[in-house]
Structure 1
Amino acid sequence: MKKDAQVKLIETATLLFAQKGFNAVSIRELARTANVNSALISYYFGGKEGLYQEVLEEQFILIAQMLRRLEESPPSSPTEAIIRYANNISAIHEQRPYLTRFILSELMNPTPCCEAVVKKYISCIFGFLHTTFEEGVAKGEFKPDLDHDFATVSLAGIMNFFFIAKPIFQGFTSSSEKTGEEYTAQALNTFLNGILRRKDHE
């Protein structure tokens, strides 16, 4: 029973925080929507901020799991690492449809949880991609003049923007009929064509 109340609060909070943002959601609304006693929010999570942090952790945990899998089963090459990363990020967005809302919300109106959760996971992604691009250049797989920082920011943006902007695109393009998997395949092709070293062109 206690476990059910915790799960219900997290599920309810995920929806409300994603729709309204942290500041616009009250403890009373959370408890009423979840149909639980408001005291349980403090009991289980230490308050609204603790519940919000738990929600953010739940949103980002798949990223940590993905990076752990890539570490435990290293890709055969930097290019393969980029492909596996992109495909996994696409799948994560499908599993966590509110992830982009939380990212945008924290970028526009950061809460204390931004440092503790959001920046923590983004830092892990940045480290993985930056190291991958460095390795790719060192092995002669990527262009020698590739800027590792810009490449990291570019790929992260490419892999997130489609899911962030998809609701807008649906109004005036056919993108609503296309899947994240299709987008990822084309985006990867475009990105890799820009960074791969072509010896026949040297």
Structure 2
Amino acid sequence: MKNEEGKREKLIRAGIRLFATYGYDKVSIRQIAAEAGVNSSMISYYFNGKSGFYEAIIKEVLQNFDEFIGILETKDIDPREGFKLYVQAITKIHYKYPPEFVKLVYREMLNQSEAFNNLAVHKFKRNFSVLLKLIEKGKTMGIFRKELDNEKILLMFASVVNFYFLAKPLHSMIIRQDENFTAGYLEQVVKIFLHGIEVGGNEKA
């Protein structure tokens, strides 16, 4: 069973590298199998062809958000901790997949595939809704400033966190970075962000 899971994981990682580098149309099932070191029949067996395989990659990536969103939906946590959990979830995703993962994200942002539109947009809307409720909860508790727009708060935070990873291939050429640097940077982002949206000592909720 573990061997089968290992082959599936190899295919997913190989698919991310190839689709990110060459695009969906220019990648063949044979190339994917060769990159993963498995028989090409495995793609039909596991994913029912190339389109099913690409859809599986999108699903695989999106499933990484389920645990994080589930915690926000089912547990009574401090809204500030919710933002920290978001950062942890995004960080885990980018460390889990090959470096080419960023290119795949760019491709989908610029030219969305049918699989992305069918799967990701709905998932992101749900996640966005849960996070907006988290912000509203913070306002109700007197933690966050009530005059700030919830959608703008969330868009600002998500943009800053995600852009760090999306632009990393460029800025890492200028500033040396390892996992400790990334963790420190994101910790500072959260600290500055929360300082900006929290009710100050002299302000009334």
Q: Paired residue for 1:64?
A: 66
Match of 2:121 among 116, 119, 122: 119
Change in Cα spacing, 1:171 to 1:8, as seen in structure 2 (3 Å) is: closer
Q: Deviations for 1:118-160, whole angstroms, at most 9, x for unmatched residues?
A: 2233223211221111222222211111111111111111111
CA distance in 2, matches of 1:177, 1:78: 25
Q: Paired residue for 1:130?
A: 132
Change in Cα spacing, 1:142 to 1:126, as seen in structure 2 (3 Å) is: same
* Deviation for aligned residue 1:39: 4.1
* Deviation for aligned residue 1:26: 1.8
Q: Residue 23 of structure 1: SS of its match in structure 2?
A: helix
Contact 1:170 1:176 in 2 (8 A): no
CA distance in 2, matches of 1:38, 1:87: 35
- Aligned pairs for 1:66-105 within 5 A: 66-75=68-77, 77-98=78-99, 99-105=101-107
Q: Residue 76 of structure 2: SS of its match in structure 1?
A: coil
Q: Which range moved further: 128-137 or 184-193?
A: 128-137
Match of 2:45 among 33, 43, 52: 43
Gaps of 5+ in 2: none
Change in Cα spacing, 1:73 to 1:191, as seen in structure 2 (3 Å) is: same
Gaps of 5+ in 1: none
The number of residues matched between the two structures is 201
Runs ≥4 residues deviating over 6 A: none
Change in Cα spacing, 1:94 to 1:33, as seen in structure 2 (3 Å) is: closer
Contact 2:139 2:145 in 1 (8 A): yes
Q: Which amino acid aligns with 1:19?
A: T
Q: Over aligned residues, Cα RMSD in angstroms?
A: 2.5
Q: Paired residue for 2:185?
A: 183
Change in Cα spacing, 1:71 to 1:169, as seen in structure 2 (3 Å) is: same
Q: Which amino acid aligns with 1:96?
A: Y
* Deviation for aligned residue 1:74: 3.0
Q: TM-score, normalised by structure 1?
A: 0.85
